[in-house]
Chains A and B, each alone.
Chain A
Amino acid sequence: MNGALKPLRKYIQPKIGDNWETIAAREFPNDPQDKVIENLKSWNLFLAFRPTPMITPSDIMFIEAPAQQ
C-alpha cells in the first residue's frame, strides 16, 4: 500500500458474535483484560454508548487511542 494511504488510526472490524471481551482477548491477549476493555470503550465511544449495544462485523473499532488534537 502506498504510504500516504495507510490508515490514520489502527482499527479492526469485529467478527460476527464479537463483544468487548472477545475482541479484547484477541487483540490484546497479554494485557489485563479489564483495562483493555476500558481502553477500547474509551477509544470507541460511539460503539460504547450507542442505543443498540450489538457490535456488528461492519463496525469500525479502533485499537489505539485517537491522535492528540
Chain B
Amino acid sequence: MAEEIIVKGQLKLYGWRRALWFTGIVLVCFFFVFPIFWLILTALRPESEVFYVHRGTHFTLDNFIRAFDAHQFKEAMFNSAVLATLGTCLSIGITLQSGYMLGRFRGKLRNTWFGLIYIMRTIPYITWGLPLYAMTQYLGIYDTYWGVLGPHLAVHVAFFSLVMKGFFENITASSEEAALVDGCSHWGVYFRIAVPQVLPGIFALSLICWLWTWNELLFAMLLTSADTPLLTVTIVQFVNEIGMEWNLMAGSAIIALIPAILITVFGQKYITKGLYM
C-alpha cells in the first residue's frame, strides 16, 4: 500500500484518495452552509430584486429595519426571550434533580422514573398540545407566559433528564459518599458537592434549552395569540399574510437566528456536551 502512510495513528491520504476526501468535505460544507448563505443573501436584497437573488447587484439593510418594525415583531422577540429564559431557569433546576436521581440511585423507584420519562419522551407533542389549548383556556392562562411555559417544562423534563443523568454518571460518587459518611445531609451533598461538579454540563444544557424554547413552533401556535405573540409564530404568519415578500421573511429569519449564531460561535465548546440525549 504505497499511498498509505500512517501519521500519528491516522491514515494519511495521497493522490486521488485525498482529492476524493477533499471533494467530500467541500460537498458536505456546501450542503450545510448554502441554505444559510442564501438566506443572508436574500435578506440583503431590495424588494424589487428579491426574485432574482442570483443576478442582482443592489444590496440593502432595509429588510432588517422593516422586519423589525413589522407588527408585533419586537414584542414577539421580547416575549420569546422572556419565555426561553424563564423556561431555562425553571427546567434546569428540576431536570438537574431528576437527572441526579437517575444517575446516582438504584432500585425500583429510580427504574420506574426512568421508564416514565422514556414513555413521556415517545408521546408526540400534538397529542397533549391539543387538549392543552382547551385546558389553558379553562384555567385562564391561555395566551400568557404561564400557559406556554408549562408544556415546555414537560418537554424539557422528558428530553433533558437523561442528559443530566449522563453528566452525573461521568463524575465519581466517592466524594459524595464520603460527605454522607461525615454526616452531611442528602440535600447538602447534592447542592454542595454534586451540582458544582457538573456546572459545565449545566451551562451547555442551558444554552440548548434556551434555544430549544426560543425555536419551538407548535406549542407557541397552540397556546398563544395576540396578547403574547411569540417569535416563531410571528415569522411564520409573515408567510401566510404577506405571502411573497421573501426579502422580509429572510430579514426576520436572520434576526431570529442571531441567538443561534452567537451560541454556535461562542458556545461551541460547551454545547456538544449537551447533545447526548
Q: Is A bound to B?
A: no
